Structure 1
Amino acid sequence: MDAELEAAGGLRTGFFHLDFADKKYFTWVIVAFASMGGLLSGLDQSLISGANLFLPKDLHLDTRQNSLVNSAMPLGAVGGALILGVCNERFGRRWSIIISTILYTIGAALEAGSINYGMIVASRVILGIGVGLEGGTVPVYVAETVERKVRGNLVSLYQFNIALGEVLGYAVAAMFVTVPGNWRYILGSSLVFSTIMFIGMLFLPESPRFLMHKGRTLDAYKVWKRIRGTDTAEAREEFFVMKVSVLDEQQVTTEGSKNKRFPWMDFFTVPRARRALVVANMVILLGQLTGVNAIMYYMSVLMTQIGFNDLQSTYMSLVGGGALLIGTIPACFLMERFGRRFWANMMLPGFFIGLVIIGCSYLIPVETNLAGAEATYLIGLILYMGFFGCYACLTWVVPSEVYPTYLRSYGMTTSDALLFLASFIVTYNFSAMQAAMGQTGLSLGFYGGIAVVGWFWQILFLPETKDKTLEEIDLIFEKPTREIVAENLKNTKQAVGDFFAGRWGGKRASTEVPPPSKETDKDEV
């Protein structure tokens, strides 16, 4: 490869081609801008909360119009998720992220300058397309570029930075709440971060794995020399393994599918692929249909409903955002220790309790006991957002693990689109559902009811993938559903015993993966 590189003129140099003598600095630069991707996503999802107190009055929006303004971003994100695969394959990871930052910038500028209902909805949709495209691309770009020993930490770090961006959004709203024309400054503030990220991405290289995937081996080697170097045996070995794995993946794509022309059809015809699709997307639905984005987008409005004034509501929104951020931290460090099933089944009841307390807070008469109503609501909100922060990491981790290798890009596109579609449905219908069901009925009855049903589903159908290789995960999902359920019930009993005995995160009994049953292909999910 070095000989080919010299024959081709050596490493390309120029203003936009960074090169560090110590290659670890390149990893830090990539991490910094990948983190900004999560920060931007979270920021643009929470800024609307503060703007909600003032924007509808200035633009003369009714309740349904304001619902569409709030939900237009996740609706646009569905479109961004649907074009994710095409953009990644046609333009590459780096340019897909650059395109998303351009969409972020255009959307934020139009938001800040909106003069009517149509303009604000269009700007939110454009912004959402950027969110959907960036959200599915940045984790892939990082995973394909940084060292393998830090890869897993950075996936969780991305979710942490989304939560950090959400807190920052509430803080920005608090900064501008007393400024005339405040909502325009609030929504336009993300221009600063999207511009910084756009400039930074111009200096970063394309993913070497993508270049290898496209048959551009020499270009991949050039990038590898810049970001990792070839001085160490580990770096040389990892480049060789990357090359072999890409070739193997291409072979699996063409030979591993029962549907040669349309591999995604295997989600309907192959039980193993179908089970993975159901499990990944059920985790995503449980994260969204329990109301987190509706509560996040309308947090300032909800604060006014419980008795806070506009100024207090803007500042108190930081409480919910802060709880979400703090709740994300344990998942970054402890999920691998406790396992996916334990984590999911312990966190979901936690935010159900938060929903119960939130629902009960609305039953306390504000006129006679304002302090009690506000305190009860805030306790419920902190529990809900804190436990959901822990649970939210599963919506990134589970889909990234359970799909077969040759279907992973199709599966992730499906999961990414479903996440934002569910967010749109919940956010758009929030005001109407609250009017129809009542505040307690929506938070406790509907969102809480889904959490209860989802908890029982997880106990029965969510398998453990902790400490499993991708090949072992394949074996798990090749087993008939009834065998997965039987093993889950057995492991649940063992886990409950371990929990009350203080054996947290320890070895579980029966962690071996038995060979799949001969009846696998006949079994339906």
Structure 2
Amino acid sequence: MDSNSETKSMTSDPSETQKLEPHRGTGSSWLVLVAAGAASLSGLMLGYEMGITSGVLLQLRGVLSLSCRQQELLVSSHLLGALLICLAGGPILDRYGRRCSLLLSAVLVVGGSVVLIASSSLVSLTIGRVVVGMGTALSGTGACLYIAEISPRERRGLLVTLYELMLVVGVMLGFSCSYAFATLPDGWAYTFGLVIPPALLQISVLVFLPPSPRFLVTQGKVEQARIVLARLRGGVQESVEKELIDIRTGLKEESEHRFLELFSTKANLRSRLLTGVTLVFLQQATGQPNILSYASPLLRSVGFNSDSAATLASTGFGVVKVVGTIPAVLLVDSVGPKSFLCGGAVAMGMSLVALGALTLQSHTNLTSLCKSHTISNHTHTPWDLNGTSIDLENSDLFSTDLPYQWNGEESERTNREEDGIRESGGGRPYVKASSLMKWASLISLLVYVAAFSISLGPMVYVVISEIFPMGVRGRAVSVVSAVNWATNLLISMTFLTFTEKIGVANVMFLYAAMSFVLLVFVIFCVPETKGRTLEEISKELAKK
């Protein structure tokens, strides 16, 4: 693969170039929409992989007799692949272009999914998830940059958030498909395989789409960039020439940037990088990845008493994410990402405080989401109790039922809870978690998911695609994405273990605190980018 592959369709002969010449006055907003839609299929695939995680986890834990650590490994393998590709994604994006990177990522998704379908062991499942993670992460980075660089400035926010809209649709489909195939033999294999059709569709469309005009200019192909811009802007010559001049001027000013300068004070690059890194860190530290990856187990912990009920309830997360993202997509260009981020941070913090308080009052609040792994004798593992293996396919690893034997005071208290009575400080009886409390917990979770979907979910992508100069944008976004996936990986790998140490309620309070930290950070550190070109944003940030 080389950089010429991205433009070969335009350079083969004069007649090919003639085909690309636009007819003056011919609107071609349809081409921008098609290109943005094809790139946004990356969001659909990433969202789908996120959505199927919790449902597939409930199926595979019994089939493969997975321990808590093994479940965390299976969830985290997708994130590990994403982190690995991010470390190499910058050079790929900058050398071969956004479109070629999207093609490569779609191929990785197809290949990894084939491995998953044919898998029969934890090792092969892990490898397949790593490959799929590499594909979805590279495509996510490339898609946002590609959309931002082909879009007119007055529609850039709308089209970039289309990626997030497709992502949440993918999450909804992932939850729904997990539930639909939950009762079928090897249903998890069908669930893994359904991501292949959109990957093949993306490949088939991308081969006919133009590369980013900004990428063409960086490669010295100015005339081809002019042709592409004319196609994208409907042949309005004055608009095309002005935008091309802006791109070339911006690139000339940024041409001296090197990768290491991202960490220097030149043009305030270090400040911009810290802004992007902090945003993605807080995006993960407010808990959203765990809410999705462990949705079904978490719902078990707040009172949904079967796998099927918890999986069905978790599909509501996908629906709410779609509904919450629509206003963000429609209003981002008029309201601006900064306002959405502030409002969303407040709503997330309040809903998490409410969820933590409800969980404290709930009988189902035990020390972890998988405490049933602890069987009567702590010297034995769940898979070797007195020399006899346990059939985990028919047991509930995420059940909120208590272990068979606890010692002393805790055992006595547990027995009283089982009967629905526990004495409080005033001597009044404590009643088991009511149906009202269960549904109140679910509503708090849904409000939290909706607040994230209207703010932190789509708006982080918008801000990150706008704040870096073109000369280092691919590498800068890759660094930010690497931090994003590394944080996600760390949080997801330790979530079950962490809740075992401090309890579900305290985890919710911690996430709430991080939401309010996010609010303060956005108010004081995130620039307003509404209504400005990428070059104008970069010039202003360089002066600060």
TM-score (norm: length of structure 1): 0.80
Which stretch of structure 1 is more off in the superposition, 28-37 or 107-116?
28-37
Establish whether residue 352 from structure 1 lines up as the match of residue 357 from structure 2.
Answer: no
Q: Which residue of 2 aligns with 1:286?
A: 282
Q: Deviations over 1:82-104 (max 9, x none)?
A: 32222223322222111100111
Query: Contact (CA 8 Å) 1:19, 1:227: kept in 2 or not?
Result: no
Q: What is the distance in 2 between the residues matched to 1:394 and 1:27?
A: 20
In structure 2, the CA distance between the partners of 1:159 and 1:376, relative to structure 1 (3 Å rule), is: same
Q: Which residue of 1 aligns with 2:437?
A: 373
Query: Contact (CA 8 Å) 2:52, 2:175: kept in 1 or not?
Result: yes
Q: What is the distance in 1 between the residues matched to 2:331 and 2:543?
A: 28
Which stretch of structure 1 is more off in the superposition, 320-329 or 158-167?
320-329
Q: What is the distance in 1 between the residues matched to 2:338 and 2:443?
A: 26
In structure 2, the CA distance between the partners of 1:204 and 1:369, relative to structure 1 (3 Å rule), is: same
1:112 to 114, 117, 130: 117
Query: Contact (CA 8 Å) 2:81, 2:133: kept in 1 or not?
Result: yes
1:244-323 → structure 2 map (5 Å cutoff): 244-255=245-256, 257=257, 262-270=258-266, 272-308=268-304, 309-323=306-320
Query: Contact (CA 8 Å) 2:99, 2:206: kept in 1 or not?
Result: yes
Q: Which residue of 1 aligns with 2:415?
A: none
2:71 to 48, 59, 66: 66
Deviation at 1:273, TM superposition (A): 2.1
Aligned AA for 1:331?
A: A
Deviation at 1:380, TM superposition (A): 0.9
In structure 2, the CA distance between the partners of 1:29 and 1:291, relative to structure 1 (3 Å rule), is: same
Q: Which residue of 2 aligns with 1:121?
A: 126
Q: Which residue of 2 aligns with 1:397?
A: 462
Deviation at 1:240, TM superposition (A): 2.4
In structure 2, the CA distance between the partners of 1:227 and 1:272, relative to structure 1 (3 Å rule), is: closer
Whose radius of gyration is greater, 1 or 2? Answer: 2
2:507 to 442, 453, 466: 442
Establish whether residue 334 from structure 1 lines up as the match of residue 331 from structure 2.
Answer: yes
Q: Which residue of 1 aligns with 2:447?
A: 383
Deviation at 1:43, TM superposition (A): 0.9
1:92 to 83, 91, 97: 97
Gaps of 5+ in 2: 1-9, 365-419, 421-431
Q: What is the distance in 1 between the residues matched to 2:329 and 2:202?
A: 24
Q: Which residue of 2 aligns with 1:455?
A: 519
Aligned AA for 2:242?
A: V
TM-score (norm: length of structure 2): 0.78
Deviation at 1:271, TM superposition (A): 7.5
Question: Secondary structure of the equivalent of 2:81?
Answer: helix
Q: Deviations over 1:141-179 (max 9, x none)?
A: 223334444333101111111111111111111221221
Q: What is the distance in 2 between the residues matched to 1:227 and 1:271?
A: 30
Deviation at 1:478, TM superposition (A): 4.0
Which stretch of structure 1 is more off in the superposition, 282-291 or 299-308?
299-308
1:238-249 → structure 2 map (5 Å cutoff): 238-249=239-250
Deviation at 1:465, TM superposition (A): 3.9
Question: Secondary structure of the equivalent of 2:58?
Answer: coil
CA RMSD, 1 decimal: 2.9
Query: Contact (CA 8 Å) 2:22, 2:230: kept in 1 or not?
Result: no
- Structure with more relative contact order (C-alpha pairs < 8 Å, separation 6 or more): 2
Q: What is the distance in 1 between the residues matched to 2:12 and 2:194?
A: 48
Query: Contact (CA 8 Å) 1:18, 1:203: kept in 2 or not?
Result: no
Q: Which residue of 2 aligns with 1:487?
A: none
2:489 to 414, 424, 430: 424
In structure 2, the CA distance between the partners of 1:352 and 1:412, relative to structure 1 (3 Å rule), is: same
Q: Which residue of 2 aligns with 1:27?
A: 32
Q: Which residue of 1 aligns with 2:405?
A: none
Q: Deviations over 1:188-226 (max 9, x none)?
A: 211122122222222323333322321234444554566
Q: Which residue of 2 aligns with 1:513?
A: none
Q: Which residue of 2 aligns with 1:490?
A: none
Query: Contact (CA 8 Å) 1:79, 1:132: kept in 2 or not?
Result: no
In structure 2, the CA distance between the partners of 1:370 and 1:12, relative to structure 1 (3 Å rule), is: farther
Q: What is the distance in 2 between the residues matched to 1:43 and 1:299?
A: 14
Question: Secondary structure of the equivalent of 2:14?
Answer: coil
Q: What is the distance in 2 between the residues matched to 1:265 and 1:465?
A: 23
Q: What is the distance in 2 between the residues matched to 1:156 and 1:215?
A: 30
Query: Contact (CA 8 Å) 2:251, 2:470: kept in 1 or not?
Result: no
Aligned AA for 2:504?
A: Q
1:57 to 35, 41, 62: 62
Which stretch of structure 1 is more off in the superposition, 429-438 or 307-316?
307-316
Query: Contact (CA 8 Å) 1:74, 1:420: kept in 2 or not?
Result: yes
In structure 2, the CA distance between the partners of 1:175 and 1:18, relative to structure 1 (3 Å rule), is: farther
Query: Contact (CA 8 Å) 2:39, 2:143: kept in 1 or not?
Result: yes
Aligned residues: 463
Q: What is the distance in 1 between the residues matched to 2:53 and 2:443?
A: 23
Q: What is the distance in 2 between the residues matched to 1:71 and 1:267?
A: 29
Q: Which residue of 1 aligns with 2:212?
A: 207
Q: What is the distance in 1 between the residues matched to 2:329 and 2:290?
A: 25
Gaps of 5+ in 1: 480-525
Query: What stretches of structure 1 move > 6 A for 4+ residues in a row?
Result: 17-22
Q: What is the distance in 2 between the residues matched to 1:448 and 1:194?
A: 36
- The share of aligned pairs that are identical, in percent, is 27
Query: Contact (CA 8 Å) 1:83, 1:133: kept in 2 or not?
Result: no
